[in-house]
Structure 1
Amino acid sequence: MPSPYLTVILTIDEPIHMGATAAQGPTSWDTLASGISAAPCTIVHDGNQHGIQLSLTPLGSRALFGMPTAAIGAWMVDLEDVIGSDASELRERIAAHDSWDERFAILDEVFLRRIDALDEVKFDPTLERAWQLLTADAGNARVADVAADVGWSRRHLVNRFAGEFGITPKDSARIARFSAAHSIMRRVEIPSVAEIAALCGYYDQAHMARDWRELAGMSPSRWRAAEQFTFVQADDTDDDADLSA
């Protein structure tokens, strides 16, 4: 689902199969990276998935990939195209272990090695400030107010922002608001849609429903009824638990 994060997936055993998007046809990946998009991606599966999924902030993209989020855009790409042979090393080493502690230790080792090897992260502090303002508080900041806060014209903010993040300031706030609502909708017990709309800064329930139809392809109540997988977090004491989702 659309979110203000980049997605990285490392599969174990079987590849992940993605349905067609507006930008790409159906694809299959052993490892993938994708940027920030205002459209959902469909995962095609038989009810089983096995692997690790990471959510990266734009600053994380700079630190790990050495590139802006906009370099990936809304595309799904092979992680090897982004980080080279480190991607295949990650997948092979992670697949060779059954312990999640060992798998996560390998992930930390390789990614920390990449951070050490790359030059110091060059992230414009003004853009970082603009991103934080637009995506914090469920995306309720106004673009004009953010431009005034950082001392740029609205046009300059839009151009610089899109060049770094691959989306407009308005879309970033919209995605952040949607992501906040989506997080609440994933809970086992949820408030009414009207209450969620109010909590996340929508004008009303109809406003939230319109945004969901555009960003998720369906209304929030329909999504909730159709969702087959609740979010499950294994107990910390269960060493053998499968933490994949």
Structure 2
Amino acid sequence: MGPTAVDTAVRDGDAASREFVRAAPPPGGGVVSAVGYRSRGRRPALHRGLPSPYLTLIFSLDGPVTTGRTPAEATGPDAVRTDIVVGGLHQSPAYVVQPEHEAGIQLAVHPLAARALLGLPAAELAGQLVTDGTDVLGHIAADVRERLREQDAWSDRFAFLNAYLARRAADAERAGAVRPEVGEAWAWLARHRGAGTLRGLSAHVALSERRLSALFRAETGVTPKQAARLMRFQHAKAAVVRAVAAGTRPDLARIAADRGYYDHSHLVRDFQQYTGLSPSAWVAEECRNIQAGGHGGGEDWDA
């Protein structure tokens, strides 16, 4: 998992800067994307971490990551503060406080790799916005974080983290195996980019819709329909981001048609649920982050 690109830092005047370093994920498909991030001298702000089909694992290399289900919670006494973030699949935005300076490594983890890499099924992370990483990975995770902080180069950090995850995957039998029907169901939804039907999916894996939904939710924490919507939104959001990064206005009607939405209004509905904003309002809020490269690798907290 070595670095493949360093995005150009975005500077505000002479003091502020942002850096995103992308690494090629290790083989096996468990880690979908890996991004190192660092910012300095920025005006403190509140960021929306969007739902996606992937779990989130963040090792902060600076202060704790502060989150909440609402802006008031994220900025108030009930905020969740942790140095290592583990986030399950969720259906609404998480609000993340962006301080004046921050740094970390963020991984997007495939839900069906949760048993191997995290030691539990993804469903056990459902219901909570985030979980302290030491509660999931054990106290050794705190040592891993300290070793990551001691490294000077992103390449060394990614190599060390890759070795740690490989050791965990080698001991994967401790958390049991994913049922093959669930694995094939997820792969079928991914091939259809979330546009397939539950009837077609259940026929493909030779289970009733009710039985498949129960097994799927017990493993991932979401139903097949919810997973399909997350996948479809992920592809639609990526198309919006690409258009904005290229300096063009997103054609939402075409994006909706190309990404399997019934119509434009259904895409707008998903944006409103998953971001709390209309597509145009979300683009306006995130434009600078998009141009800085903060939405380019499958990671959806976009530190």
Same fold (TM over 0.5): yes
Q: Residue 45 in 1 paired to residue 104 in 2? A: no
* AA aligned opposite 1:39: S
Secondary structure of the residue aligned to 1:119 is: helix
**Shift, 1:49, TM fit:** 2.9
Partners of 1:176 and 1:61 lie apart in 2 by 18
Q: Residue 54 in 1 paired to residue 107 in 2? A: yes
Which of 161, 173, 178 is matched with 1:123 structurally?
A: 178
Which of 70, 82, 91 is matched with 1:29 structurally?
A: 82
Structure 2 partner of 1:154? 209
* AA aligned opposite 1:108: N
Q: How far does the alpha carbon of each residue in 1:27-47 deviate from its partner, in whole angstroms, 9 at most, with x for none?
A: 111001011111111111135
Partners of 2:241 and 2:127 lie apart in 1 by 24
Partners of 2:60 and 2:112 lie apart in 1 by 24
Q: How does 1:101-112 map to 2 (within 5 A)?
A: 101-112=155-166
Partners of 1:231 and 1:8 lie apart in 2 by 24
Does the Cα contact within 8 Å between 1:62 and 1:69 map onto a contact in 2?
A: yes
| Structure 1 stretches of at least 4 aligned residues deviating more than 4 Å after TM superposition | 21-25, 231-234
Q: Residue 215 in 1 paired to residue 274 in 2? A: yes
* AA aligned opposite 2:107: L
Secondary structure of the residue aligned to 1:36 is: coil
Partners of 1:31 and 1:55 lie apart in 2 by 14
Question: Judging changes above 3 Å, is the alpha-carbon distance between structure 1 residues 86 and 186 closer, same or farther for their aligned structure 2 residues?
Answer: farther
**How much identity, in percent, do the aligned residues show?**
36
* AA aligned opposite 2:62: D
Relative to the length of structure 2, the TM-score reads 0.73
Relative to the length of structure 1, the TM-score reads 0.89
Which of 135, 145, 153 is matched with 1:81 structurally?
A: 135
Does the Cα contact within 8 Å between 2:116 and 2:171 map onto a contact in 1?
A: no
Q: Pick which of 183-192 and 76-85 moved more.
A: 183-192
Q: Residue 98 in 1 paired to residue 157 in 2? A: no
In structure 1, the gaps of 5 or more residues are 235-243
Does the Cα contact within 8 Å between 1:9 and 1:51 map onto a contact in 2?
A: yes
Q: Residue 184 in 1 paired to residue 243 in 2? A: no
Q: How far does the alpha carbon of each residue in 1:44-82 deviate from its partner, in whole angstroms, 9 at most, with x for none?
A: 113543100000102221211221110111421011111
Q: How far does the alpha carbon of each residue in 1:190-217 deviate from its partner, in whole angstroms, 9 at most, with x for none?
A: 5411111112111121111111111211
Structure 2 partner of 1:237? none
**Shift, 1:137, TM fit:** 3.0
Please identify which structure carries the higher strand content: 2
In structure 2, the gaps of 5 or more residues are 1-49, 295-301
Structure 2 partner of 1:194? 253
Number of positions where the alignment pairs a residue of Structure 1 with one of Structure 2? 236
Q: Residue 203 in 1 paired to residue 254 in 2? A: no
Does the Cα contact within 8 Å between 1:139 and 1:176 map onto a contact in 2?
A: yes
Q: How far does the alpha carbon of each residue in 1:96-142 deviate from its partner, in whole angstroms, 9 at most, with x for none?
A: 11100110111011111112233276121111011111233320010
Q: CA RMSD in A?
A: 2.2
Question: Judging changes above 3 Å, is the alpha-carbon distance between structure 1 residues 135 and 216 closer, same or farther for their aligned structure 2 residues?
Answer: farther
Secondary structure of the residue aligned to 1:230 is: helix
Which of 226, 229, 245 is matched with 2:289 structurally?
A: 229
**Shift, 1:19, TM fit:** 2.6
